[in-house]
């Protein structure tokens, strides 16, 4: 798809702070339609916060977040809810409703937002579950699911209303190699088969690079690198190299800031707070 077409999500000069901690300090991101865009960065760089800003659960301090032409922070609750019906979000934990079984979890958005007869809901739910390979698991309770299965059920639920975009929050964290492979394949295939736009927030470099069309690297509230996976491999930034190659030391130091080690040992028994 040509990059000239207006991006689905366009973030400009985004500023956001939590208390005194600056999370975003002038971030520009474009998420192009039909593509898988990855947002990567170390833990604590506000990747999840970014998804919440796109979904309108948080408001930026400054800057604009436009989704499909709508300025998200300015939407009224009703308009925001209408927009969210066109977005799916996959939470890190899956966020399945624990009082419902697998079938009812996938049926939940359909029952809440449509007046479809129960027979049609059943067909739709089975189709979505079939797409993630869990049609046979429809009767299980959420407690009976493994972590990978829970994420796949959550994915089936996220596509239940045929959204235009899916936001994935750390989809690969804590998965065994097999379910990781399944998720990687599912994200790419669903994106292409359903004509979705996907945003993956992750720090799993290998898996994410394998399926992403476009990657943004975030650090300290700024975009430090941007490009396709191929471009990033040759990116001229120490930091990007350390992150992508998983080097233990580099621009991001191994040590948390601390006083001189020898002085610290000699400081005696004043406890851990002596120098603070």
Under the rule (CB under 8 A), what is the footprint of another protein?
55, 57, 81-82, 84-85, 87-89, 91-93, 95-98, 108-109, 112-113, 154, 157
**DSSP string of 38-69?**
EEE--TTSSHHHHHHHHTTSS--SEEEEEETT
In the bound state with another protein, the residue whose beta carbon lies nearer, of 89 and 225, is 89
The number of CA neighbours under 13 Å toward the Cβ of 169 is 20
In the bound state with another protein, the residue whose beta carbon lies nearer, of 98 and 146, is 98
Answer yes or no: are the C-beta atoms of 188 and 36 closer than 8 Å: yes
- Return the bridge partners of 38, or none: 200, 215
In the bound state with another protein, the residue whose beta carbon lies nearer, of 23 and 225, is 23
Shortest distance, CB of residue 54 to another protein, whole angstroms?
10
Token pair of 254 as six digits:
């191994």
In the bound state with another protein, the residue whose beta carbon lies nearer, of 19 and 248, is 19
Shortest distance, CB of residue 95 to another protein, whole angstroms?
3
In the bound state with another protein, the residue whose beta carbon lies nearer, of 106 and 211, is 106
Report the C-alpha gap between 120 and 9 in whole angstroms.
32
Shortest distance, CB of residue 44 to another protein, whole angstroms?
17
Q: Map residue 252 onto helix, strand or coil.
A: coil
Answer yes or no: are the C-beta atoms of 35 and 197 closer than 8 Å: yes
Any alpha helices (H) in 8-146, and if so which ranges?
47-54, 77-84, 102-113, 118-131
Shortest distance, CB of residue 267 to another protein, whole angstroms?
21
In the bound state with another protein, the residue whose beta carbon lies nearer, of 65 and 223, is 65
Closest CA to 23 of 7, 10, 39, 37: 39
CB-CB neighbours of 42 under 10 Å: 15
Q: Map residue 219 onto helix, strand or coil.
A: strand
Shortest distance, CB of residue 226 to another protein, whole angstroms?
26
Shortest distance, CB of residue 245 to another protein, whole angstroms?
32
In the bound state with another protein, the residue whose beta carbon lies nearer, of 112 and 118, is 112
Shortest distance, CB of residue 219 to another protein, whole angstroms?
25
């Amino acid at each position: 798809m040509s990059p000239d077409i207006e991006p689905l999500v366009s973030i400009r000069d985004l500023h956001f702070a939590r208390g005194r901690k600056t999370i975003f300090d002038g971030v520009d991101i474009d998420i192009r339609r039909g593509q898988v865009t990855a947002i990567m960065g170390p833990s604590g760089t506000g990747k999840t916060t970014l998804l919440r800003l796109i979904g309108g659960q948080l408001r930026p301090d400054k800057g604009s977040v436009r989704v499909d032409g709508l300025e998200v922070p300015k939407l009224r609750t009703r308009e925001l809810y209408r927009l969210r019906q066109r977005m799916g979000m996959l939470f890190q934990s899956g966020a399945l409703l624990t009082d419902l079984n697998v079938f009812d979890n996938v049926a939940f958005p359909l029952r809440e937002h449509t007046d479809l007869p129960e027979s049609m809901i059943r067909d739709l739910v089975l189709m979505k579950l079939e797409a993630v390979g869990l049609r046979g698991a429809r009767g299980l309770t959420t407690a009976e699911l493994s972590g990978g299965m829970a994420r796949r059920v959550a994915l089936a639920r996220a596509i239940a209303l045929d959204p235009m975009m899916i936001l994935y929050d750390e989809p690969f964290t804590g998965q065994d190699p097999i379910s990781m492979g399944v998720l990687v394949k599912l994200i790419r295939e669903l994106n292409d088969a359903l004509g979705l736009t996907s945003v993956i927030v992750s720090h799993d470099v290998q898996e994410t690079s394998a399926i992403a069309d476009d990657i943004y690297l975030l650090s300290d509230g700024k975009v430090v690198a941007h490009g396709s996976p191929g471009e990033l491999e040759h990116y001229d930034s120490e930091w990007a190299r350390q992150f992508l190659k998983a080097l233990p030391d580099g621009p991001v130091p191994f040590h948390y800031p601390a006083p001189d080690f020898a002085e610290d040992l000699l400081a005696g028994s004043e406890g851990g707070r002596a120098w603070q």
